[in-house]
Amino acid sequence: MKEFKNKTVIITGGSSGIGRATAELFAEEGANICIASRNDINGIELEKKLSKKGCNIKFIKTDVAKVKDLEIMVREAIKFFKSIDILFNSAGFEGRIKEIKDTTVEEWDEIMDLHLKGCFVASKLVIPYMIKQKNGVIINVGSEIGSSFRFAPNYVPYGTSKAAVMAFTKALAIELAPYKIRVNCVSPGAIKTPMLEREIGKWLERGLYKTREDALESIYNSYPIGFIGEPIDIAHAVIYLASEKSHFTTGTVLSIDGGGGII
């Protein structure tokens, strides 16, 4: 039996990386899926791919840093699917990777708008529907950089935004508990995604490593487990947090980081 049959999930950043892997896993579990992403090429491609497999899916081009886009996203999801049972705030961006003294106010706002304000606004918009339904699940994406500061140099805006998302998760969980709406957060370490590849490219441009292989070796060596994760590793955690198997779990930040957060 498909656990999420007749359940509707919105996934921001759903066209690639962790969001895409999660969408594909939810599709296998029978969910109705709304993919929200700025990347319309990847979004439309995934919509077609999962539709052919029998998934009830809709792609909505969305920039989560724009309130109007998020309003359209939620309105279209309700129009198409009639309900919103799960919100996965997955959209993310690595930021400019520079020292704070060289970071502009605009660059700071850019990452806060995407990670924190986008998470807040999307949640704010779906909560009334979840309250009316008397149930719902919101899952956010933090980061080990939001709690372990071994990578702090050049990642101050990113780490700050993710720490705020994790705090937002806990505070919102308390507020929504009386409505039986659960709010949790996954906190990934390094994951093989397009975002990681972009980061490595920036490191090479700055001369931090000579080759991509050198950069990858350094990343692998920074994790006790000796390797980095795949998007599916995070997707499995999201599926768990969205399921009834975690019905007693709220306000939790689930670390999936190969032990990186404990060193």
* Tens digits of residue pLDDT in 19-40: 999 999 999 999 999 999 999 9
Question: Residue 249 half-sphere exposure, CB side, CA atoms within 13 Å?
Answer: 19
DSSP label at residue 177:
G
pLDDT of residue 1: 57
Rg (CA), the chain: 18
Work out the burial of residue 99: count CB atoms within 10 Å of its CB; fewer than 13 is exposed, 13-18 middle, 19 or more buried.
exposed
* Tens digits of residue pLDDT in 50-74: 999 999 999 999 999 999 999 999 9
Listing DSSP states for 43-111 in one string gives HHHHHHHHHHTT--EEEEE--TT-HHHHHHHHHHHHHHHS---EEEE----------GGG--HHHHHHH
pLDDT of residue 84: 98
Residue from 167, 67, 75 nearest 117 by CA: 67
- Phi and psi (nearest 5°) for 243? -90, 170
pLDDT of residue 238: 98
Whether 245 has a pLDDT exceeding 70, the answer reads yes
pLDDT of residue 149: 67
pLDDT of residue 208: 83
Asked whether the whole model's pTM tops 0.85, one would answer yes
Q: What's the CA gap between 226 and 219, in Å, rounded?
A: 9
Farthest-apart Cα atoms in the chain, separation: 55
Q: Is 235 helix (H, G, I), strand (E, B) or coil?
A: helix
Q: What's the CA gap between 37 and 91, in Å, rounded?
A: 8
CATH 3.40.50.720 domain range(s) in the chain: 8-190+230-256
Q: What's the CA gap between 4 and 9, in Å, rounded?
A: 9
Give 145 or 48, the one with higher predicted confidence: 48
Spatial CB neighbours of 148, under 8 Å, sequence gap ≥ 6 = 260, 261, 263
* Tens digits of residue pLDDT in 96-115: 888 899 999 999 999 999 99
What's the whole-number average pLDDT of the chain?
94
Residues annotated as part of the active site: 158
pLDDT of residue 229: 94
Q: 208 vs 139, 144, 165, CA distance in Å?
A: 34, 21, 29
* Tens digits of residue pLDDT in 139-179: 999 999 888 766 666 889 999 999 999 999 999 999 999 99
Q: What's the CA gap between 216 and 222, in Å, rounded?
A: 10
- Topology of domain 8-190+230-256 in CATH is Rossmann fold (3.40.50)
Q: Work out the number of other CB atoms within 10 angstroms of the CB of residue 79.
A: 9
| pLDDT bucket at 262, cuts 50 / 70 / 90 | confident
pLDDT of residue 97: 80
Whether 220 has a pLDDT exceeding 60, the answer reads yes
Whether 116 has a pLDDT exceeding 70, the answer reads yes
Mean pLDDT of 209-225: 91
